């Protein structure tokens, strides 16, 4: 099993944001990772913990039972984008998505 690797990093963009905002008061966390089903749940859990919420509280914010949150965090199954967005929106976390590709890497079979 893979352990949760929580990588905190500060990007240039964040530095800019920080300077634009109130000096030194805005702490911004960014978690970035290769998208895999197995990691998503861990991310939900991480952010929820950071917000000091119980599964039940998060569930209330979204409008679902705590069991639902548990399932999501435990990666018991596939998830739809909509569900992911609902959760992170409730956690007031900004979700970004990026796609990287090397030019010319591709060959049609």
Partner DNA sequence: AAAATAGTTTCCATATATTGAAACTTTTTA
Partner DNA sequence: TAAAAAGTTTCAATATATGGAAACTATTTT
As given in the structure block, the two tokens for residue 7 are: 């990588």
Q: Which does 23 bind (CB under 5 to 8 A by kind): DNA, its own copies, none?
A: none
Q: How many CB atoms lie within 10 A of CB 102?
A: 6
Task: Give yes or no for residue 54 binding DNA (CB under 7 A).
Answer: yes
Q: Cα(42)–Cα(45) distance, rounded to whole angstroms?
A: 5
How big is the chain, counted in residues? 109
Binding residue for its own copies, selected from 22, 24, 63, 104, defined by CB under 8 A: 104
Residue span binding DNA (CB under 7 A) among the ranges 20-28, 48-56, 89-97, 99-107: 48-56
Q: Give the burial class of 72: count Cβ atoms within 10 A of its Cβ; 0-12 exposed, 13-18 middle, 19 or more buried.
A: buried
Sites of contact with its own copies (CB under 8 A): 1-4, 7-11, 14, 17-21, 26-37, 40, 43, 47, 50-53, 57, 61, 78-82, 84-85, 88, 91-109
């Amino acid at each position: 099993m893979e352990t949760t690797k929580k990588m905190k990093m500060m990007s240039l963009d964040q530095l800019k944001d920080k300077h634009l905002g109130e000096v030194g008061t805005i702490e911004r966390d960014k978690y970035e990772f290769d998208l895999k089903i197995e990691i998503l749940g861990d991310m939900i859990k991480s952010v929820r913990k950071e917000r000091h919420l119980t599964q039940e509280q998060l569930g209330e914010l979204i409008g679902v039972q705590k069991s639902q949150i548990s399932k999501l965090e435990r990666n018991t199954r596939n998830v739809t984008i909509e569900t992911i967005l609902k959760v992170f929106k409730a956690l007031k976390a900004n979700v970004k998505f990026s796609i990287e590709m090397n030019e010319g890497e591709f060959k049609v079979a």
